[in-house]
Amino acid sequence: MRIQFLVLSVVLGSLLFGCNSSSFAQKKTAPFGIDQRPQPTGTDLNVLLPKKVGTFAREDLPSGAKPPSDEDLNVEYTSGKDRISFGFSIPETEKDAFEAIKVTRQEAIDSRLSLKGEQYQIGKNPGYFRIADFMSWMPGRYFFYAKASSPEALERFMRSFPF
């Protein structure tokens, strides 16, 4: 009886003093501050896939390369021994971009990769999935993913990527 009274007192006190369960919930923070970055626009691949990202650089794109909608355009960024396998597409809809993130997460699960420390958000822009050395994200309809040679390489790359 004493425990029930204590629980009831805490609940009533919380209601009276304006506290609720959301006050105690941790705010979800998007990895690398991607929710604070500008939304990409247009289809210029040299803007969407910059030649240099921090200390990382990529080769020139093939002449006439265009952003794909139904498959990924893949490039590799390097910085010394560090590598980033980077993919990009502009799906038809934002819903398709969310689905692409779900697929990358499911592939990680199917490959039995560790999801320890995972960050995952679907249904709210930007959507994302992040584990130690991999991240996929979608600002609007633009879909990006980066598979790094190490968690540290991913950190350095993502801190400099513009979108």
Cα(77)–Cα(79) distance, rounded to whole angstroms? 7
What per-residue confidence (pLDDT) applies to 65?
A: 87
Q: What percent of the chain has pLDDT over 70?
A: 83
Contact indicator for 30, 128 with CB cutoff of 8 Å: yes
pLDDT at 15 over 60: no
Mean of per-residue pLDDT scores for the chain: 86
Helices (H), the chain: 2-16, 21-24, 45-48, 94-110, 151-160
Q: What is the pLDDT of residues 45-82, one digit of tens each?
A: 999 999 999 999 999 998 888 887 678 999 999 999 99
What per-residue confidence (pLDDT) applies to 22?
A: 36
Q: What is the pTM of this model?
A: 0.82
Q: What is the pLDDT of residues 82-131, one digit of tens each?
A: 999 999 999 999 999 999 999 999 999 999 999 999 999 999 999 999 99
What per-residue confidence (pLDDT) applies to 63?
A: 87
Q: What is the pLDDT of residues 118-144, one digit of tens each?
A: 999 999 999 999 999 999 999 999 999
Q: How confident is the model at residue 23 (pLDDT cuts 50, 70, 90)?
A: very low
For residue 44, count CB atoms less than 10 angstroms from its CB and return exposed for 0-12, middle for 13-18, buried for 19 or more.
exposed
